[in-house]
Amino acid sequence: MKPIWTLLLSLSVLSASGLGASGPAAPSSPLRVLAFREVPFFYDHEGAVKGFEYEILALYARVAGRRIEVVWVERFEDVLPMLAKGLGDVVAARVTITTERRALFGFSAPYFTVRIVLVEPLGKTTTRLDELRGATLATTRGTTYEELLSEIPDVKLVYGDQDTDLLRLVATGKARATAVDSMSVLGLLPKFPQLKISLPLSEPQAYGFAVRKGSQLEGELSRHVELLRTSAMYFRLIEKYFGKDAATMVRAAHR
């Protein structure tokens, strides 16, 4: 595992190159981040921007000599279309890297790996997705959650913008169950003691920072993320935003 000084020294090559999103950039050129509010990934609190994704990008921006300019996007389904229109340089919104998305956008190396899991009330036990045929399920538009749940026959979908919204819909009886990512739900379940994780719904999936096709940010951010994930700082960020148990799980997966 690399100490932080080695990481920063390696990343300093980026700032020396002077490369931006689409070619040479002045040191003061802002990095426009299309961000979707989701605790603990990217959010604002008392006038300060915080979050796991934000800190990863802030470290990149610092060594690259760029400042971050946050463009808040209210709906997840809008982040990639806004990137395609050139309204930002990079998307920070827990975007799962899929074959379909790779055909349209560039992606950094994965900065986080999760599974989609089913969450339901303590009194319910679902062992197969087809048992939810005809049920009302909570999801977020434009996500891999929605894609997966839409495959259930006769399903009815109700929508929320954030994972907290989805769990609340289930906890209040407005939805039978929901699908969310494993790491996110570990941090949220203590707030919803009436809910539980029932079963995994996917193989491990990776989150990456999306950029426009052909952007030099794809390579720069990939090198940044790959170096960061071998450093002690990465695990400190995991612990800071997801807790000690999450950091232990991620360390074990890296061995």
Residues 119, 132, 188: CA angle, nearest 5 degrees: 10
Same domain, 133 and 188: yes
pLDDT band for 14, please (50, 70, 90 cuts): very low
Going by pLDDT thresholds of 50, 70 and 90, the confidence category of residue 182 is: confident
**Per-residue pLDDT averaged across 164-192, rounded?**
92
- pLDDT over 70 (residue 254): no
* DSSP label of 76: G
Please tell me whether residues 142 and 78 are part of one structural domain: no
pLDDT digits (tens, 9 = 90+) for 96-107: 999 999 999 999
- For the chain, give the number of residues: 255
Give residue 253's pLDDT band: very low, low, confident or very high (50, 70, 90): low
Distance CA 237, CA 138 (A): 29
- Is it the case that residue 250 has pLDDT exceeding 80? no
Residues 10, 80: one domain?
A: yes
Answer for the pair 215, 83: CB distance below 8 angstroms, yes or no: no
Of all helices (H) and strands (E), which one includes residue 41? none
pLDDT at 189 over 90: no
Which pLDDT belongs to residue 255?
59
Sign of CA dihedral 43, 40, 161, 33: positive
- CA-CA distance, 201 to 180, in Å (whole number)? 9
- Tell me: do 218 and 107 sit in the same domain: yes
**Separation in Å, CA 114 to CA 83, 127, 186, 214:** 24, 20, 11, 27
Say whether both 127 and 20 belong to one domain.
Answer: no
Average confidence score pLDDT of the chain: 88
CA 93-15-225 angle, to 5 degrees, is 40
Quickly list DSSP for 126-192. Answer: -SSGGGGTT-EEEE-TTSHHHHHHHTSTT-EEEE-SSHHHHHHHHHTTS-SEEEEEHHHHHHHGGG-
Is there a single domain that holds both residue 189 and residue 217? no
In a shared domain, residues 190 and 234 = no
pLDDT of residue 5: 40
**How far is Cα 167 from Cα 154, in angstroms, rounded to an integer?**
21
Neighbouring-strand partners of residue 32: 69
Residues 15 and 106 both lie in one domain: yes
Q: Does residue 112 or residue 251 have the better pLDDT?
A: 112
Domain count, the chain: 2
Assign residue 43 the CATH number of its domain: 3.40.190.10
- Is the pLDDT at 15 greater than 60, yes or no? no
Other C-beta atoms closer than 10 Å to the C-beta of 21 total 21
Q: Which residues contact 241 (CB under 8 A, 6 or more apart)?
A: 40, 41, 51, 52, 187
Q: Are residues 193 and 210 in the same domain?
A: no
35: phi then psi, degrees, rounded to nearest 5: -115, 140
CB of 112 within 8 A of CB of 224? no
Higher pLDDT, 34 or 20: 34
| Residue-number span of the structural domain to which 159 is assigned | 116-200
Q: Which residues of 208-236 are buried (b: 16+ CB within 10 A; e: fewer)?
A: bbbbbeebbbbebbbbbbebbbebebbbe
- What does pTM read for this prediction? 0.76
